[in-house]
Amino acid sequence: MMQQPFESAIDLPFNWKSLDGQFELDGPLSDPGGAGVFVLLVGSTLLLTAEGTLPQQLPVADGVLPLYIGRWQGQPCRAVRLPGGQDYGNSLSAFELQADEPQLPLALLSLGALAQQLLRWEKNSTYCATCGGRCDWNGDGWGRQCGDCQRHHFPHLHPCVIVLVRRGEELLLVRKANWVPGRYSLVAGFVDSGECLEEAVEREVMEETGVRVKNIRYIGSQSWPFPSQIMAGFVAEYAGGEVKIQESELEDGGWFACDNLPKLPARRSIARFLIDHYGRPTDMSAKE
Ligand SMILES: [Zn+2]
């Protein structure tokens, strides 16, 4: 399931490459009709057959509206959100998409997460944000258009930055109160209006920890469909300041020796990718 560690950021789960060429995205108006496979989602849980494949039948007789999203292994593929709290029969197995160690092939994990993201966009774009009119699919992509004011709407992606800050042989790590006990990760946050990515890195590190950074270098990115982020990963060097944690956001944070790190994020995240590839003692001696 999880390659350990991932060689390049582009190989991380949820990026298109993880679909391994098995899925071809298409717009919801392009449904060719006929049989196909279903991406069945209950919240962030994906339901698969006992053989670990996408089911070809719906487990409910009515009350759901499948959304065509493209082709999986050449077959028409439709995403369906099922209500929770129901028994969908013992022929289906449930897999949590947000698990630290998802028990799914990467392609199905990424497909399930993508389907969840598309279903969320469908739900959140039913009504026009400008005038409240009803929106319909438009053209052959994922855009929608308001039937009243004619405004076009497109899927919302939220850019975020995440940064590994190094000081000699130490890494700057932080933790939020709602994380798994003892787990630390990297400073991260949403890009503000008017900011470039590097400015967002500088601001987030300063806001969360009071530390100044320099030599900000872009490494790679990861699609993070919980709910719709695109994570841009950076490394940076310490440039000054004492650690002062932003108590409204964080529970703890500080410098950790890179050969004695606390519990870290799962390997499926770009946070761990950055630590695995740029946070080792050998990297510290090779100063740029
Ligand atoms: Zn409108």
Distance CA 85, CA 95 (A): 15
Spelled out in words, what is the top-level CATH class assigned to the domain 9-124? Answer: alpha beta
Distance 141 CA to ligand 1 centre (A): 19
Distance 124 CA to ligand 1 centre (A): 14
Distance 33 CA to ligand 1 centre (A): 30
Break the chain down into helix, strand, coil percent, rounded to 5: 20, 35, 45
Say what the pLDDT of residue 3 is.
56
Residue/partner pairs of 279-287 with CB below 8 Å, 24 or more apart: 279/164, 279/166, 279/171, 281/169, 283/166, 284/166, 284/168, 284/169, 284/258
pTM for the full predicted model: 0.92
Kindly tell me if the per-residue pLDDT of 286 is higher than 60: no
Say what the pLDDT of residue 2 is.
62
Distance 149 CA to ligand 1 centre (A): 4
The 10s digit of each residue's pLDDT in 241-270 is 999 999 999 999 999 999 999 999 999 999
The 10s digit of each residue's pLDDT in 73-102 is 999 999 999 998 888 878 899 999 999 988
Instruction: Tell me if 67 sits within 8 A of 28, measured CB to CB.
Output: yes
The one-letter amino acid at 32: P
- What are the residue ranges of CATH 3.90.79.10 in the chain? 158-285
Kindly tell me if the per-residue pLDDT of 66 is higher than 90: yes
Say what the pLDDT of residue 23 is.
98
Query: What is the share, in percent, of the chain residues with pLDDT greater than 90?
Result: 87
Name the pLDDT band for 272 (thresholds 50, 70, 90): very high
The 10s digit of each residue's pLDDT in 122-145 is 999 999 999 999 999 998 899 999
Say what the pLDDT of residue 285 is.
47
Closest listed residue to residue 78, CA positions, set 136, 29, 8, 10: 29
Instruction: Tell me if 136 sits within 8 A of 144, measured CB to CB.
Output: yes
Distance 127 CA to ligand 1 centre (A): 8
Kindly tell me if the per-residue pLDDT of 287 is higher than 50: no
The 10s digit of each residue's pLDDT in 145-155 is 999 999 999 99
Instruction: Tell me if 25 sits within 8 A of 16, measured CB to CB.
Output: no
The 10s digit of each residue's pLDDT in 150-188 is 999 999 999 999 999 999 999 999 999 999 999 999 999
- Residue list, CB under 5 A from ion ligand 1: 128, 130-131, 133, 146, 148-149, 151
Sheet containing 143-146: give its strands across.
Answer: 135-138, 143-146, 152-153
Kindly tell me if the per-residue pLDDT of 217 is higher than 80: yes
Domain 158-285: CATH architecture, name and number where available? Alpha-Beta Complex (3.90)
> Where is pLDDT greater, at 89 or 238?
238
DSSP secondary structure letter of residue 83: P
Neighbours of 277 (CB within 10 A): 19
Distance 17 CA to ligand 1 centre (A): 36
